[in-house]
Chains A and B, each alone.
Chain A
Amino acid sequence: MKLAKMFKLGAVVALSAVFLAACGSKSSSSSSSSQVLNWDESAELSTMDLSTATDVVSFDMLNNTMEGLYRIGKNSKIEPGIATKTKVSSDGLTYTFTLRKGAKWSNGEEVTAKDFVYSWRRTVNPKTASEYSYLFSGIKNADAIMDGKQDASTLGIKADGKYKLVVTLEKKIPYFKLLMGFPVFFPQNQTAVEKYGSKYGTAAKYMVYDGPFKLTGWTGSNLTWSLTKNKSYWDAKNVKLSKINYSVNKSTTTSYNLYQSGKLDATPLSAEQAKQLSGKTGYTVRHASSTFYLQYNQNKDAFFKNKKIREAISLVINRKQFVNKVLGDGSTAAKGLVSPGLASYNGKDFATAAYTSDSVSYNVAKAKKLWKEGLKELGVSSLSFSILSDDTDKAKQSTEFLQSAIESNLKGAHVTATNVPFKTRLSRTTSGDFDIVLSAWGADFSDPISFLELFKSDNSYNNGGWSNSEYDSLIDAASTTDAGNTAKRWSDLVKAEKILMEDAGTTPIYHQATAWMINTKVKGVIYNSAGANYNFKDAYIK
């Protein structure tokens, strides 16, 4: 009889639990009038230690809970942060920042110049193992310190009293102010770092903040946390949101269900969802400053030295059809290497200024002609090569599309697709083990140089070996002789990209974007395609 009793008991427990649970979940109500925002994140927050942060979630949280010398506003505009005044020496190598009095850390201490000195030294110190320390390159002694040849205290940053910060550079960095808005350059409170030791930045309670919000409810590995308004922030009166609740949903089906039920104000969409919801109220496309482009391995395959061959491949790719019909996630057809919306001068976007339509258009007739000539010059009748890419669905769609575009239009082309895991793709690219590789690059700061530097002859990311001396000298000029002259530097960079495109040094395919559904009541959210993406300081709910 024991067994029977157990079953009865089990049945009662199970059934009552189900019914009780059903009663409990009825209490769903959303109050739209309060200034609480519910935002979706697609990955966990991995760290709040700005010296070791590497991913977008960490940078977004840091950008909203910390304050650096500047805050990056709409369209990458530089807005005041801890710095109230900046003086640049005439040679462009010394920056003197006057700091705000009365800016406070959440532990009550004042934010002073020595917090910046401490933070920067900590990040460049090889012992900290920062993966973003390369951004410090150009600041005096940074490279030597990162190579372990010099002590971190020799870095070109100095506190002159509490409210004056002096930074010395080795070479001009024209986008230096923009960099100051990136979390890696934010200050750190020495008391907190030393107090929490190895736990620093691994949970909300092991951190101090000097930005618009404070992080709460993050245990270091959980899927929900909040940003709560920081009352001791220097500009707290202009922060309207009282709270931002984050929840990590890895399935966009789930996050879209949550959005529909009013539990989320914003959710990213999968390509399938984006195709269905395009044009509906709340549909928003967030462009990333990233470009997917082909590199031709001229070191391994001599036939890629032939410009006509490379050009022909570029011209058979119907980029518009690819982004609209195949990807369908809001990504845009590439106009060039530098992503649109990244930087502009006199109201003109860089991507438009440097656009060479002949090299990225869809022109099969011309491509066939070039291909025929190219083969003739090479003295062969056919070419076989493979396209290396990641093994994600999107990457597979890309290589399939490229393969069919090339094989069906260019006679004698035999293309194989090689799809490997991301890290394998990186290793093979670095070691030169590829014919063509579909690479991706995202800019860390809003300056065209972050893309254009990639194709300098001596750049370690120039894996295919394309080389052009005029291009090299233009890029050099942009960061040396013309660094102080905005107009001249701009024209150098535009000219450089035109050379790269006209010589088909690379074949850009598309610029990545993600489609979102965002509650239309949410206003004032600042999104920048490069660096830390989101700035909620001015956001509010109408």
Chain B
Amino acid sequence: MRKYLLKRILYMVLTLFLVATITFFLMKLMPGTPYSNQEKMTTAQIKIMNEQYGLNKPVWEQYVIYIFDMLHGDLGTSFQYSNQAVSYLISSRIGPSAQLGFQAMVFGLFFGIIIGSVAAINHNTWIDTTATVVSIIGKSVPNFVLAVLLQYYIALKLGWFPIADWGSFSYTVLPTIALGVGPLAETARFIRTGMVDVLNSDYIELARAKGLSKFGIVYHHALRNSLIPLVTLIGPYTVALMTGSMVIENIFSIPGIGEQFVKSILTNDYPTIMGVTMLFSVGLVLIILLTDIVYGIIDPRIRLAGNGD
């Protein structure tokens, strides 16, 4: 297990290094300067500014300097927010995004599992059909459409929740629902399919024959086994929540990181692009590692490499 972990972490570091390198050079291929007032600056002024920021150096030299600084924990200062450290921009913005993503994931998984289970238990009845229709709608309505509808009807017309902004828990409810409905629908579909299979299997027959209660069978035997494929989905969910949250953050005026990222690309804010890319990459490789480990734990059939042989 330890050997496996070490190997995986080594690969992770390598992956991150490659991401940093590729992003850096791709980013430098984008035309233009990082200056917001580029339109009105003369070529001579731009030259002086480039010297000031070391952007006149060859790209590989800038790259070496960047990697060196990054390894020393210095992500540089932003161009769009003059003098603001990128590490501060990220740390002050990551909180709301992380909270929103986490809540949406919990919301989606929790209600998804319930709807999926209920549908599977009542296989081929009207309950099943309703659950399927709900999850198809949830899957096919884009989250920004749902966000706008929730904002208009629930927040503006009914006044149950705030329209926008970020603060106490009540501010997070509508964005969480808007962002979490996608994972909810997907989870419900997976759980239903998995559980229908499991419920028809021999060991469930046996459990029934032993006289276990319906409730006990579902929670003890059926659900646990149908959760396995779900773990595979958590990785892709995380990605979807990261990218999906940009739109939701915009609609609900949440001070998150997603929008920062898009804006930094549009304005050639090199240090911010790198900082946020690295943050997303680290998050993603960690999640992937975590799901692989969890996979091994919940499914005894899968033994992590290096352990079974």
Contacts and interface: CB of A to CB of B under 8 A. Distances in A.
A47 B81 contact: yes
A56 to B, nearest CB: 11
A254 B170 contact: no
A207 to B, nearest CB: 12
B232 interface: no
B30 A134 contact: no
A223 B81 contact: no
Contacts of B173: 18, 21-22
Interface string A53-97: 111000000000000000000000000000000000000000000
Contacts of A427: 31-32
Nearest to B33: A423
Given A132-B37, A202-B84, A430-B43, A257 B155 contact: yes
Contact of A3 (B81, B151, B155, B219): B219
B243 interface: no
A446 to B, nearest CB: 16
Contacts of B259: 250
A1 B223 CA distance: 12
A423 B161 CA distance: 40
B159 A3 contact: no
Contact of A254 (B160, B223, B224, B252): B252
A509 B164 CA distance: 37
A200 interface: yes
Interface in B204-246: 215, 219-220, 223-224
Contacts of B156: 257, 260-261
Contact of B41 (A134, A224, A421): A134
Contacts of A28: 159
B44 to A, nearest CB: 7
Nearest to A10: B110
A131 B32 contact: no
B298 to A, nearest CB: 11
Interface residues of A, number: 68
Interface residues of B, number: 66
A250 B253 contact: yes
B162 interface: yes
B172 to A, nearest CB: 8
Contacts of B37: 54, 131-132
Interface stretch (A214-222, A300-308, A485-493): A214-222
B253 A247 contact: yes
Contact of A22 (B33, B161, B251): B161
A25 B52 contact: no
Contact of B170 (A24, A46, A223): A24
Nearest to A440: B39
Nearest to B77: A198
Given A4-B219, A10-B110, A257-B163, A46 B33 contact: no
Nearest to B170: A21
A124 to B, nearest CB: 11
B138 to A, nearest CB: 17
Given A423-B31, A423-B33, A222 B170 contact: no
B60 interface: no
B168 A201 contact: no
Contacts of A532: none
B70 interface: no
Nearest to B111: A14
Nearest to A253: B148
Contacts of B84: 46-47, 202, 220-221
Nearest to B49: A129
A14 B110 contact: yes
A1 B212 CA distance: 13
B254 to A, nearest CB: 8
A46 B44 contact: no
Given A3-B219, A221-B84, A134 B163 contact: no
Contact of B89 (A22, A221, A249): A221
B45 A251 contact: no
A325 interface: no
B169 interface: yes
A18 B48 CA distance: 56
Given A24-B168, A26-B159, A198 B110 contact: no
Contacts of A44: 81
A221 B92 contact: yes
A397 B155 CA distance: 33
A257 B153 CA distance: 10
Nearest to A200: B83
A201 B83 CA distance: 8
12 contacts: A3-B219, A18-B173, A55-B36, A126-B52, A131-B35, A131-B40, A147-B44, A198-B83, A220-B84, A257-B151, A257-B152, A421-B266
Interface of A: 1, 3-4, 7, 10-11, 14, 17-18, 20-22, 24-26, 28, 44, 46-47, 49, 52-55, 126-127, 129, 131-134, 146-148, 198-202, 219-224, 247-251, 253-254, 257-258, 260-261, 263, 421-424, 426-428, 430, 441, 444, 460
